[in-house]
Amino acid sequence: MFQKDIETMPRNKIEELQLERLKWLVDYCMKNIPFYNKRLTEAGVTAEKIKSLKDIEYIPYTTKADIRDTYPFGLFGQPMKKIVRIHASSGTTGKPTVVGYTKQDIENWSDCMARICVAAGANDEDIVQIAFGYGLFTGALGLHYGLEKIGATVVPTSSGNTEKQIMLMQDFQTSALVATPSYAQYIGEKAKEMGVLENINLRLGLFGSEGCTIEMRDQIEKTLGIFATDNYGMSELMGPGVSGDCHYRCGMHINEDHFLAEIIDPNTEEVLEKGSQGELVITTLTKEGIPMLRYRTKDITKINYDTCKCGRTFARMDKIKGRSDDMLKIRGVNVFPSQIESVLMSFDKIAPHYQLVVTRANYSDNLEVKVELADGSLLENYGELEKLRGNIHHNLKTVLGIDTKVSLVEHKSLERFQGKAKRIVDLRNNNG
């Protein structure tokens, strides 16, 4: 472990520390950030009012809209003189979400990342290629600092230029790859095509930044000959570093000394009982640059508070089931893309590349699941193709409870991704 004393703290100690930090945070926000001062004053919250962790419920939620409305620096807790780094995440519309870090924030971020990298199995003998995009995106620099902190050799290739990535991987004998799972998948496919898969010596994949089902992960692991872990975060909260898998991969350990997690019902906003599935809400307990009070992540998960077999006491969150705003409502039924991915991955003859196209006709939603054939061998055999299509359709119906249109498309006809995959095409607003 990177910081064993902290990572194995008894639960009552974790909660004591969280309470102390929560009080500090409320006071800090009142003093340094006019936006929060107004919000908290209106809600009648002061540091003195926070007597137990449950009292966090007095504090109003913060949303992405609050960050947008105070663009660019309105939620910063320190003057620019103290801010040493800025990152931003681009949304689909409008201005990016801008975040700032003090020196201490960068130090904490590096610690959080170092813990996650060690928990995943990385060490100072690893040569790690970081194939997340460097730049305003938090992914690359977050992992970069954490990996340097544990003494690994960092190769900052950034994303893209896949053939060169593969060349360097062979020449440097890179042992670990940091990437989105979809980019790792593409790297594997490309290396196979180049006939160099067996010259690659990767052992570890540090994935994150987008969802990936266990079935998809298994396939990528098999192709690249690696053991892959997941880690979760978001720009508004820090970047990567909020939580990550240990080698047991039974939930991502939340760095609870820096983040206080709650699960709420996204519709009623009510806090749910421990162990329930719902929207993750995070309060940053130590951040100075841009602290977040009860930030609504929109990500759906559940949290397990039992001590893990690895000895870490930090609670573990399940893989993200989907974003509450990514969840597709098809004819009134909630459908998470991850459910579809799980079904598709159970078929051999299709490649792990798919796209979900949602349209509306005659006031009814239609979901088309486009999935690539693994190769050209089935194209000659109509009967087999139809059988495969029928089986996929049947399994999707069993899991989702709705009819979908399954289209088998030619190998390599769907887009590949170097960052986060975009698998949903929702055309419902376009055609009424």
Q: Which residues bind ligand DLL (CB under 6 A)?
A: 89, 132, 138-139, 208-211, 230-235, 239-240, 297, 299, 320, 323
CB of 409: closest distance to ligand DLL in angstroms?
Answer: 25
Q: Shortest Cβ distance from residue 106 to ligand DLL (Å)? A: 15
The smaller minimum CB distance to ligand DLL, of residues 107 and 210, is found at: 210
Residues in the chain: 432
To ligand DLL, the closest distance from the beta carbon of 410 in angstroms equals: 29
To ligand DLL, the closest distance from the beta carbon of 102 in angstroms equals 19
**By the 8 A CB rule, do 66 and 35 touch?**
yes
Residue with CB nearest ligand DLL? 208
CB of 220 to ligand DLL, least distance (A): 14
> Least separation, in Å, of the C-beta of 249 and ligand DLL?
12
Long-range CB contacts for residues 8-12, cutoff 8 Å, separation at least 24 = 8/311, 8/312, 8/313, 9/257, 9/313, 10/313, 11/305, 11/313
DSSP 228-281: EEEEEEETTTTEEEEEEE-TT-SSEEE-TTTEEEEEE-TTT-PBPPTT-EEEEE
Nearest one of 223, 183, 216 to 200, comparing CA atoms? 223
Strands 127-130 vs 176-179: parallel, antiparallel or unpaired: parallel
CA nearest to 15, candidates 394, 23, 359: 23
b (16+ CB within 10 A) / e for 217-239: bebbeebbebbbbbbbbbbbbbb
